[in-house]
Structure 1
Amino acid sequence: MTTSASTHKPIVVGTDGSESATRAVRWAAREAVLRRRSLKVVNTYTWPISGYPEGLIVSSDVHDALRSDAEKTVRDAKKVAEEAAPRLDVSTVVTAGNAQQVLRELSEDAELVVLGSRGLGGFTGLLLGSTAVGLASHAACPITVVRRRREPAGGPVVVGVDGTPVSEAAIAFAFEEAALRQAPLMAVHAWQETAFDIAMSSAIAAEFWRSANENAQELISERLAGWREKYPDVVVTTEVRGTGPAEQLVRQSAQAQLVVVGSRGRGGFAGLTLGSTSQAVLRHADSPVTVVRADVVT
């Protein structure tokens, strides 16, 4: 190792002690080793305001108990991380506050924020509802959602490509990730089917499909050209389909180590973070999913 992990931004992982969060901690620990970064394990807790009469002062014992539980959670998670990566530099953070807000603030000085797909306490529902969309939209670094229990050995890193600057940011992250993992990369472009006029002949329909596919192949080749030169050891394949983008990315996620998407786009990946496509990928992808914003990738 030529540089110290302490000189770089850490990888941050949120945990609440759930099985999903534990998988996220293991994934984040391995990712930190790949990127030669330290790992910061985070848990939040909030005051139980509901159920108390108005004006009642909550005992400090309640606060102490909540903090004690949170500290135990991060200690247990730290052990999980150290078992997954024995030489990894692991620190912990316990703080009172809203999980999304805390993670948003920590993302200012993080290389990556990692979370499980569902939780128990401070991170409950964080990645399956509006909080996930908000964090993916506003975090100051890429966000990874760890979904399934195991990664397939030798599976590709899959990236959605639509030709926008946001897509370019996702491609950059995906190539770097594939190189770190010594994994192949699959670039996916999904263009939406156009409703055919009932009177359209089969010959015209066939020509439309041929032209659309040629244009898509040309676009994806242009977008990948420079990255192929920068990462000559990464084996690249492309997939072009006239189907919905979420459907295609979810399908490819079954054999992927990771799916990478940009946070906004046009065409096949329009509204990726703020619309139905992003939510579908985050909810249904089998692999971990990383959401990358163009303005936070250097």
Structure 2
Amino acid sequence: MRHFLDFEKPIAELEGKIEELRRMSEPDGINIADEVARLTTVADRQLRTTYGRLTPWQKTQVARHPDRPKAKDYIDSLITEFTPLAGDRAFADDAAVLGGMGRFQGRPVMVLGTEKGTDTESRVKHNFGMARPEGYRKARRLIELAGRFELPVISFVDTSGAFPGIEAEARGQAEAIARSIEALLEAPVPVVATIIGEGGSGGAIALAAGDRVLMLEHAIYSVISPEGCASILWRDQAQAPTAAEALRLTAEDLLRLKLIDHIVPEPLGGAQRDKPATLAAVAAAVQDALTTLKGLDAATLRGRRREKFLAMGHESIA
């Protein structure tokens, strides 16, 4: 069953009528093809109009859509011969961070991803994509392993942020995130990160500090969630839409500010409406990014990465 967001209600009503007409025509043999075709045209036009003018808050809702492809979907679809690697060799394995070796279009790679889960059971298992320190330490371990074996690193980021629980702080959450970022910045191999849904705060940067940062058209990437920002500035989560506007969290804003490198177009209506097309688009974008980095030595990669991140923040945000 398809999930519709609040602003998609007119589209939901039209598609509901189309489905109802199709069900009616089957047993009675009634020919209603013309009416179905007309309503389909209207629904497509409504969908195109709606998604052509999404507000930042609406994009936030799309980025969080429960039916969007998750990190596991990308790994299962794009990575062959995938061998998962678990644990941080210090405390535990964190299911919020997936990682392992495999082949991307025949090329050996190291893959990382934050996984939110798709139903209640898997969401609890993966802690809704909010990693604890052991998740970031696992990421660091795999990044360093990739460097030793000269494997490019590919990551798929979808997290509202790092787990904020007291036990995570007690085990060194901030240090673990910083070390993961450090490992990416110092990696002697190409690093390509893709923001596939939410890119929340340091929990996202810990897997996204790459040579090339790609972002899906309706994904978001920000230092704090709109709700968190609204709670701090206005003491009112109802101000989240205003906060989303101020945070400049859309792919278009971030590309203009040179905080990401490329926007991956989504199918009309969002990634959740056509997962195969979305997966194919991401595969092509990642392949293009790896091609641009091919042949660069470790010193060049590190130097360019350093220059890229040091340059951030010099563009006007007006």
Q: TM-score, normalised by structure 1?
A: 0.25
Kindly indicate which of the two structures has a greater share of residues assigned to helix.
2
Name which structure has the greater RCO, CA cutoff 8 Å, separation 6+: 1
TM-score normalised by L of structure 2: 0.24
